[in-house]
Amino acid sequence: MTRSIVFDSPFLLGFEHTRSLIERAAKAAAESYPPYNVEDRGDGGLRITLAVAGFTPDQLSVTVEDRQLTVQGKRDGDPAKRDDAFLHRGIAARGFIRSFVLADGMVVEGATLGHGLLHIDLARPEPEKRVTTVPIRTVG
């Protein structure tokens, strides 16, 4: 991936993390399998729905690391052996990794699998309101 000239400016110091997030988001956008929807549930909540027909809960994993949500599907067995029984295979049978970059404060509430769809619910809880009193010192 080519580096963004904007973030290489000497006037933008300390934005390496932002550049990294943009690069991760661009890489995730280039993925095309499995198809997915993102729904707004209101109150800052989102639902990601992935079409994962044929996968069981044991073949799927949902993880969050460093604000990156990763959904992975692994197929068991040798796919070549299963192909012998099909006259036509139109439903994809390959494994996948699909990633989403989460905003600060987003948390995964849970994941459910039903009717070939994996639903992942996200929320953005209200941040705690903190008031900090700064002591005032006197000098000399």
**Structural domains of the chain in order of their starting residue, each with its CATH number:** 1-30 (no CATH), 32-123 (2.60.40.790)
Q: Is the pTM of the predicted complex or chain greater than 0.75?
A: no
Per the listing, tokens 């996968």 go with: 55
Give the pLDDT confidence of 60-108 residue by residue, as tens digits: 999 999 889 999 999 876 555 555 677 887 877 789 999 998 988 899 9
Q: CA distances (Å), 104 to each of 52, 55, 66, 87, in order? A: 27, 30, 10, 48
CA angle, 85 then 86 then 91, to 5°: 135
Cβ neighbours of residue 104 closer than 8 Å, sequence gap 6 or more: 67
Cα-Cα-Cα-Cα dihedral sign, residues 20, 25, 28, 30: negative
| CA gap 17, 23 in Å, rounded | 10
The pLDDT tens digits for 6-38 are 556 666 677 666 676 666 666 666 667 899 999
